[in-house]
Every structure is written in C-alpha cells, then in structure tokens.
Amino acid sequence: GAVVSQHPSRVICKSGTSVKIECRSLDFQATTMFWYRQFPKQSLMLMATSNEGSKATYEQGVEKDKFLINHASLTLSTLTVTSAHPEDSSFYICSARSISTDTQYFGPGTRLTVL
C-alpha cells in the first residue's frame, strides 16, 4: 500500500520549452501533495504544497509562474516547469500525504535535464 508514482522518470528538453511532471497516489487518496527539488548531494527543498481543489502554496523564493502546480483530483497533482532553462535542471520529487497514517509517501522522482 501507499504507492506514489511519478511520470516521467527522466526528461530531457530544450531551453524555452515547458515540461509537465505527474504525481499520482495509486492506492490512497491524497488531499495534500508536496513538490520538492533536490540538487546533487543535497537535501530535499520543499517548493510548494498542493491542495486538492485549491491553489498551491509556494515556499519563499519559488516562482509561481515558473512552476505551475495543479491538483485536480484526490490522486493526481502536476508540476509544469514553464520556459525551462538549464538552471532548472534538477531532481524533482513529489510526495502525497496519507490521511490514515499521516505520513508522506514519496514518488520515485523525475530527473529533468534542460539543454
């Protein structure tokens, strides 16, 4: 139980294009999902909290217009990196909060490379 999937696992794109990453809770409903960014050999940095049916809450310093988050259902949240640049290259991880266990379960991550 408590499986979270992410798609795609890897993506390479050209500078200026937009990339959408999906995060799904497969066997539980998640009213709250989180998006993190992780640079090599560093810890996870929370980017935003995604709440089903409402606007995401972004952490300080994270550009809302750059990183668009949509949480349209209790099992799906998407992160769109708009007009990607090489500095956006990173490992993006989502997590979903299980109400029953009050624990965050993480997806396998998406490695984004912007050329």
Partner 1 sequence: AQKITQTQPGMFVQEKEAVTLDCTYDTSDPSYGLFWYKQPSSGEMIFLIYQGSYDQQNATEGRYSLNFQKARKSANLVISASQLGDSAMYFCAMREAYSGTYKYIFGTGTRLKVLA
How many C-beta atoms surround the C-beta of residue 22 within 10 A? 17
Upstream peptide bond of 108 is cis (omega within 30 degrees of 0):
no
Q: Which is nearer to partner 1, 22 or 91 (CB)?
A: 91
Binding to partner 1 by CB under 8 A, coded x per residue (else -) over 90-109, reads: -x-x-x-x----xxxxxxxx
- Token pair listed for 35: 């998006």
Binding to partner 1 by CB under 8 A, coded x per residue (else -) over 5-44, reads: ---------------------------x-x-------xxx
What is the Cα–Cα distance from 87 to 30, expressed in whole angstroms? 30
Q: Hunting for tokens 């606007």 — which residue is that?
A: 55
**Applying CB under 8 A, which residues contact partner 1?**
2, 32, 34, 42-44, 46, 49, 57, 91, 93, 95, 97, 102-109, 111
